[in-house]
């Protein structure tokens, strides 16, 4: 098991505590209703709020990957994300993640001050693999299928979604090793909600210890996801809107932490930072250093 990773001078010691990744969506069409568009002032204010709440990383994205989201070309994606990355790089020491699957956007973001790549396609593009190797940056490898327009129809895993995830990660890890990406700089993300049914999402969350046996830190992104909205609403009811999914998200992340999640990706950092701290105090009492209680 890879035990630690330094990102932008910050040490991430896997297993000691859970790290918080705050989401900055520079999109007009985010599923979660928190898209900031091109409002740089609002984005900086949200980043400041996240930092004050104790976030460990900031994840900056300029293209929605929700089901049926409209594609965004590289030029527009850069126009959305680069000003914020440049601004944040000058005012914060927090590691900055670029959420993109376009190598050109990732390269420009790294030049602007980003420190790691978060790719929903799991670095499927060989050019992205080469970029990660050349720059020596950490990467988040997420499992997904298809595109935002097709993924809802690609949820048939023959009754073995965990086997699919293991096979995908093993193959992609071999490709990245061949490309020269250091194993110690790889983080895995099972891709909750990406080409998965609600039942499959729950199965994956129950099975995180199995995925952690692959030997890599796990990032889990359940924040405000649709299956949580349906569960909170209850049987026969319409899903609650994303803004009302914070308590369901808290339950999901607490149990994900119990299953071995190392990073949780969040929209609602302020209320959920406390939930993460409580979960850590119960699950990791020695390593998370709660002797101040």
Residues catalogued as catalytic: 225, 265
User: Quick check: 61 and 26 in contact, CB under 8 A?
Assistant: yes
What is the C-alpha to C-alpha distance for residues 203 and 224, in angstroms, rounded to an integer? 18
How far is residue 32 from each of residues 49, 212, 240, measured CA to CA in Å?
A: 18, 28, 12
- Residue found under tokens 């790719």: 119
């Amino acid at each position: 098991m890879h035990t630690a990773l330094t990102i932008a001078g910050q040490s991430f010691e896997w297993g000691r505590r859970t790290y918080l990744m705050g989401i900055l969506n520079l999109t007009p069409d985010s599923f979660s209703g928190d898209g900031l568009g091109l409002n740089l002032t609002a984005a900086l204010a949200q980043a400041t709020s996240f930092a004050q709440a104790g976030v460990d990383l900031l994840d900056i994205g300029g293209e929605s990957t929700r089901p049926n989201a409209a594609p965004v070309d590289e030029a527009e994606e850069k126009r959305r994300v680069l000003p914020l990355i440049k601004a944040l790089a000058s005012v914060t020491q927090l590691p900055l993640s670029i959420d993109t699957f376009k190598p050109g956007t990732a390269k420009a973001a790294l030049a602007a001050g980003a420190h790691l790549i978060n790719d929903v396609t799991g670095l499927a593009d060989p050019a992205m693999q080469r970029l990660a190797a050349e720059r020596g940056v950490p990467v988040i490898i997420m499992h997904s299928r298809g595109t935002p327009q097709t993924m809802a129809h690609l949820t048939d895993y023959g009754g073995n979604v965990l086997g699919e995830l293991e096979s995908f990660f093993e193959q992609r890890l071999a490709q990245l090793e061949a490309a020269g990406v250091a194993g110690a700089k790889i983080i895995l993300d099972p891709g909750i909600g990406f080409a998965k049914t609600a039942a499959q999402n729950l199965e994956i969350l129950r099975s995180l210890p199995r995925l952690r046996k692959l030997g890599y830190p796990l990032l889990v992104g359940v924040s405000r996801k649709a299956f949580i909205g349906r569960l909170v609403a209850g049987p026969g009811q319409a899903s609650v809107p994303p803004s009302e999914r914070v308590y369901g998200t808290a339950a999901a992340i607490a149990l994900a932490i119990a299953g071995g999640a190392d990073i949780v990706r969040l929209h609602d950092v302020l209320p959920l930072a406390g939930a993460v701290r409580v979960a850590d105090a119960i699950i990791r009492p020695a390593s998370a250093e709660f002797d101040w209680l």
